């Protein structure tokens, strides 16, 4: 059973971790705000030469942007692995979503595969930084921060477009 299927169905030991819910623009905007907050923290970590926490905050900025993108589709993800798997399936690979979100998916499909790879790469770096004892070079941290900024900006565009479309229909 692949990760996405396991996340939707659950296992004998765990309930489903990826749940279909009503799309929620407010929650998407909240996750973008949290992503932007985490990006701001990366600047503080850079100023204070805290490379390990810079990577951690960069990852969480991308994670919250990922959560924002899933709320646009009407998906609630609990663990990180399921959020990343759903992002890959519905924003990077081909997928089907409800009619009103087809335009978001089409735009999101154009997001480069590198963004998805970046999320997974920074997740791995975050685990090393958070749990490891090795030295983290500032170059690694700066790369993670730059990738997080790009990633959050791409998802922010999707949320902004969704907000504008919703306001148009009101």
Two structure tokens written together for 112: 């480069």
Bridge partners, residue 20, by sequence: 75
Q: What is the pLDDT of residues 88-136, one digit of tens each?
A: 888 776 443 333 443 443 444 344 345 557 777 888 878 877 777 666 6
Q: What is the pLDDT of residues 31-55, one digit of tens each?
A: 999 999 999 999 999 999 888 888 8
- Strand 75-77 versus strand 18-20 pairing type: antiparallel
pLDDT of 169 strictly over 50: no
**CATH number where 128 lies:** 1.20.120.330
Torsion region of 94: left, alpha or beta (phi above 0 gives left; psi -120 to 50 gives alpha) = beta
**What is the distance in angstroms between the CA of the first residue and the CA of the last residue of the chain?**
42
Instruction: State whether residue 19 is helix, strand or coil.
Output: strand
Give the domain range for residue 39. Answer: 3-169
In the block, tokens 């930084």 appear at: 129
Its pTM stands at: 0.77
* Total domains, the chain: 1
Q: Which residue has the higher pLDDT, 76 or 112?
A: 76
Per-residue pLDDT, 95: 45
In the block, tokens 């920074």 appear at: 122
């Amino acid at each position: 059973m692949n990760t996405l299927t396991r996340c939707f169905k659950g296992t004998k030991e765990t309930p489903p971790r990826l749940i279909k819910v009503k799309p929620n623009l407010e929650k998407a905007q909240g996750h973008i705000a949290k992503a932007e907050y985490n990006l701001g923290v990366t600047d503080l970590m850079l100023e204070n030469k805290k490379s390990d926490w810079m990577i951690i905050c960069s990852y969480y900025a991308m994670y919250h942007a990922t959560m924002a993108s899933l709320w646009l589709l009407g998906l609630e993800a609990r663990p990180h692995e399921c959020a990343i798997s759903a992002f890959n399936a519905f924003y990077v690979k081909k997928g089907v979503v409800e009619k009103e979100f087809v335009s978001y998916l089409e735009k999101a499909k154009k997001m480069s595969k590198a963004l998805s790879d970046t999320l997974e790469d920074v997740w791995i770096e975050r685990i090393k930084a958070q749990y490891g004892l090795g030295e983290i070079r500032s170059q690694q941290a700066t790369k993670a921060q730059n990738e997080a900024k790009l990633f959050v900006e791409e998802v922010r565009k999707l949320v902004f477009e969704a907000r504008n479309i919703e306001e148009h229909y009101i």
